[in-house]
Amino acid sequence: MGHSLDHKEQIYNELAERLSKNPVGAPVNEMLMEILHKLYTSAEAEIGSKLPFRPASASHLAKATGKSASEISEILDSMANKGLVIDFPRRGETYYMLAPMVVGFFEYTFMRAKRADLGELAELFENYMQDQTVREEIFHGGTKMFRALAYEDVIPLAVETEVLDYDRASDIIRQSGGGALSTCACRHMADHLGRACDAPIDDVCTSLGPASDWLIRRNFAKIATIEDLLENLERAREEGLVILCDNVLGQPAFICFCCGCCCGVLRAINEGGLKAVEPGNYLPQVSFEKCVACGACETACQINAISLTGRDADLRPLIDRTLCIGCGICASVCPAGACYMVAREPPYKPPRDSFQQMLSIAREKNRKVF
């Protein structure tokens, strides 16, 4: 019996080590081990630990595990339904990749239909994500996972014709041809913890391209037209939510609409003091001659990057440039037009695609995964 238990624990330990070696890793600690035991059966953990960094077929994994390809396929299908692996067809065969922690099985766990039994997992993920070592591993690299997109109504007219497609959420959506809408994982988790805010939870997170195809096929999201996605974009702007997308130049997979109280990325800024988001290509300035010191910008900022300083009639908004991500919310709520956006110089150009993004992150961490 003891040997059997030791072997089972070894399987979960190997899975944890495998996840920790992803470009965006997952530091191994007791909380991670509890999460893995909750999400993975021992058979799933064994297969997950054997998945290479490149896509692999069931026949490849059969050789690595000694199980039959049909048995492996059945287990992998169950894992895909739980968001533990991502599957996709290629040349008449199905290939699989191990879902990382972020963006991966954390989001997929809470994207699923709301369930009453997620409370314990919510607490485990919350405690894990609050660990500063975990936050630094996931968010503190030179190449960021996410970048901010400015509200389009505050992009200066003087540069409107020069705005690149990858800087406008509406252009990204239109070029995608449509996608999917799903539950906001962060606010869903916060709801289980009894601290969700009033921002939308259902049908809000946007996925595009192959990512949306997979989420729809595995029932994590609902199909959405371009018009649906643009309406959701406008709703998020009205709610004053930060627009984040993958830090890639072409074909972002996700557009998220984030609040500073629930979003794990923005909380890494607010609570962990980390530069967790690549700032957008437009940054705010303030005209003190126009400013009426109403405090609307300070109240609306989701990451506490603006504060009123001074006394009485001399109150002025101060922008913390080490925190500001250029989301444009402050400019959008300023009633006097005193807060406005200017082009970032030089403009930031993201990695070409997700492969280049992950390759850059892996190199920065000295991980040879490709």
Give a three-class secondary structure readout of 15-69: HHHHHHCCCCCCCCCHHHHHHHHHHCCHHHHHHHHHCCCCCEEHHHHHHHHCCCH
User: For residue 56, what pLDDT is reported?
Assistant: 94
% helix, strand, coil for the chain, step of 5:
45, 15, 35
User: For residue 65, what pLDDT is reported?
Assistant: 84
User: For residue 369, what pLDDT is reported?
Assistant: 76
N-terminal to C-terminal alpha carbon distance within the chain = 39
User: For residue 312, what pLDDT is reported?
Assistant: 63
User: For residue 163, what pLDDT is reported?
Assistant: 53
- CATH number for region 287-343: 3.30.70.20
**Cβ(303)–Cβ(146) below 8 Å:** no
Q: Where along the chain do its domains lie?
A: 2-99, 135-279+349-364, 287-343
User: For residue 309, what pLDDT is reported?
Assistant: 86
User: For residue 158, what pLDDT is reported?
Assistant: 55
Torsion angle of C-alpha atoms 225, 228, 233, 236, degrees rounded to 10: -140
Architecture per CATH, domain 2-99, reads as Orthogonal Bundle (1.10)
3-state secondary structure 183-220: CCHHHHHHHHCCCCCCCCCCCCEEEEHHHHHHHHHCCC
pLDDT means over runs of 10, the chain (370 residues): 72 97 96 97 96 92 88 96 94 93 96 81 97 95 96 78 75 95 96 95 96 96 98 97 96 96 97 96 94 95 92 82 96 96 92 95 89
Distances (CA, A) of 114 to 98, 117, 188, 339: 24, 9, 8, 40
User: For residue 228, what pLDDT is reported?
Assistant: 98
